Amino acid sequence: MKIIASLSNVLDSNVEVVYVPVFEEFPKYASKELPEKVVAKIKEAMNDKKFEGKLKQCYSVYWSDKKTFIAMGVGKKEDYNSDKLRQVCSSATRCAVNKKVKSYAFFLDGNLVDVNLEKAVQSFSESTLLSLYKFNVLKTKDKNNENLKEIVILLEHKKLEVASKAIKESQEVVESISRMRDLVNLPPNIVNPSYIVNEAKKVAKKYKLKCTVLGRKEIEKNNLNLLKAVSLGSDEEPALVVLEYNGAKNKKPVVLVGKGITYDSGGLNIKPYIGRGPAMRNMKTDMAGSALMFATIEAAARLRLDCNVVAVLALSENMINGRAYKCDDVVKSHAGLTVEITNTDAEGRLVLADALSYSKKFSPSYIINAATLTGASMLAVGYMGACLMGNDKELLEKLQISASCTGERLWELPLWEEYNELLDSSVADLKNSHEAAGPGTVVAGMFLQNFVEGMKWAHLDIASVSTTEKDRHFTKSGSTGFGVRLLVDFLKKQ
């Protein structure tokens, strides 16, 4: 799939379909470059109320055997922002794919670009490429092949170089996002800890990253006892993978820690059947935090970002056998704190706790972890964003800036110290879950906070956004790839 930026005239471009953006206020805010005939047709459709310019509304204007113009609604001008642009671009792509179009152009006129050409082109190509993602490697039949071969971004601005660079960068980032989506979408009988270890080794070789793998023995030697405890019920060997990207001299690294439970059965507190089905369904996605951090460091390396990054992936299955860890077990963490296990299904915070305190040795400027940590995060924010917590105001603000630049939304939840009492244990320093109803997502954050002493830390609970059942904007059912664009934007600003 080729995306190119071009200055050629809307009428001349050598494609089957041309999308023309139309605000509700049309012809106000329409480009002066639009051919009069096209303007007239759109006006006519609007007068007849066949088309109103509402966000993502489409109206075809037949032109010739070779070309169709599609007026693409972008809503009200005052509501327009890069989020809307992404939605419009993915609709255009979906529509073109459904129509089996081979090539189309999208007129990214000055009103859509607003102030920043690079950002607009980036939003265009990221959302377009993301909406073309398919996961059909496991299908042996009915693989519908893509017709679409070429997309042209028609520009009014004469800065083609800036646009081409933005396209190139987006392609790199989307490659990494696709890697993440594949890892999350692949089933748990394929993606187990050793599969991710092998992938990490391959990527490390390709992009000259340093890669260290701690297996069962090293995990024991390093007192990563919480990670070990979670892994006991599984025949698969756990691992702690450390990837290091060195893109700058004399800068402390940003450390990215990911939860990598390749299957979460719940352990002895086995996941029940609730409501519409088994809660265990889709627990292959419980390694999305690790997949996110893996994809982010890969993207940083692809883009040769001017910063240092360490990705720490805490990999294990959460299963059941005769050796599985139990409720009432007390385990001494890597940090030295003792933890009473009160729920074997609250395993993510355990593997993360050890990975976080282990990461102190990298002297991080910031440490950020991502995890599909709590079902409660969906109750807190639904499915349109992730929950953010942390102990450093500046870091949280920086992440919020990246969230608004990329449209990958974050919502901050409070770590009020009074909630520490919810984790009081009568036999150990703390327990891993509170039994009563309460602020489950916050409690998980409070738990992690005990293991990041002396570090500027943020926690992303991505359980609400890492996968989706429905196709939504540029994400199809399955893994959304949430977080890569957010963290790459954050790293670019370090």
Q: Which does 310 bind (CB under 5 to 8 A by kind): Mg ion, ligand BES, Zn ion, none?
A: none
CA-closest candidate to residue 125, choices 162, 158, 100: 162
- State which of positions 271-290 bind ligand BES (CB under 6 A): 286
- Does the footprint of Mg ion cover residue 264 (CB under 5 A)? yes
Whether 94 is catalytic: no
- Please give the span between the terminal C-alpha atoms of the chain, in angstroms, as a whole number: 32
The catalytic position among 302, 349, 456, 485 is: 349
**What is the phi/psi pair of residue 4, to 5°?**
-130, 150
Looking at beta carbons only, is 170 or 433 nearer to ligand BES?
433
Residues pairing with 254 in the sheet? 309, 366
Residue 492 annotated to the active site: no
Residue 369 in contact with ligand BES, rule: CB under 6 A: no
Distances (CA, A) of 367 to 40, 336, 491: 56, 20, 12
Which of 24, 244, 264, 408 touches ligand BES (CB under 6 A)?
264
Q: Which of 201, 271, 409, 472 is catalytic?
A: 271
242 binds ligand BES per the rule CB under 6 A: no
For residue 5, state whether it binds ligand BES (rule: CB under 6 A).
no
393 phi, psi to nearest 5 deg: -60, -45
Instruction: Encode burial over 168-197: b for 16+ CB neighbours within 10 A, e otherwise.
Output: ebbbbbbebbbbbbbbbbbebeebbbbbbb
Report the nearest approach of Zn ion to the CB of residue 450 (Å). 19
Instruction: Say how far apart CA 483 and CA 234 lie, in whole Å.
Output: 29
481 binds ligand BES (CB under 6 A): no
Query: Is there binding between residue 463 and ligand BES (CB under 6 A)?
Result: yes
CB of 372 to Mg ion, least distance (A): 9
Give the nearer residue to Zn ion in terms of CB position, either 160 or 327: 327
Listed in sequence order, the DSSP H helices in 303-422 are 348-358, 376-381, 393-406
For the bound state, the minimum distance from the C-beta of residue 5 to ligand BES, rounded and expressed in Å, comes to 39
- For the CB of residue 11, give the shortest distance to Mg ion in the complex, in Å: 57
- Contact between 374 and ligand BES by CB under 6 A: the answer reads yes
Name which of 357 and 479 has its Cβ closer to ligand BES.
479
Classified as helix, coil or strand, 100 is coil
Cα angle value 26/30/33 (rounded, 5°)? 145
Q: How far is the CB of 242 from ligand BES (least distance, A)?
A: 23
Closest CB to Mg ion among residues 11, 270: 270
Our finding on whether 433 is near ligand BES (CB under 6 A) is yes
Nearest distance in Å: CB 230, Mg ion: 9
372 near ligand BES, judged by CB under 6 A: yes
- Does 346 engage in binding with ligand BES (CB under 6 A)? yes
Q: How many CB atoms lie within 10 A of CB 282?
A: 15
Give the interface with Zn ion as residue ranges (CB under 5 A): 261, 264, 286, 348
Long-range pairs, 46-55, Cβ under 8 A, ≥24: 51/22, 52/24, 53/22, 53/23, 53/24, 53/25, 53/26, 54/24, 55/79, 55/84, 55/87, 55/88
Contact residues: ligand BES, CB under 6 A:
264, 286, 343, 345-348, 372-376, 433, 440, 463
By annotation, the residues acting in catalysis are: 271, 349
Contact residues: Mg ion, CB under 5 A:
264, 345, 347
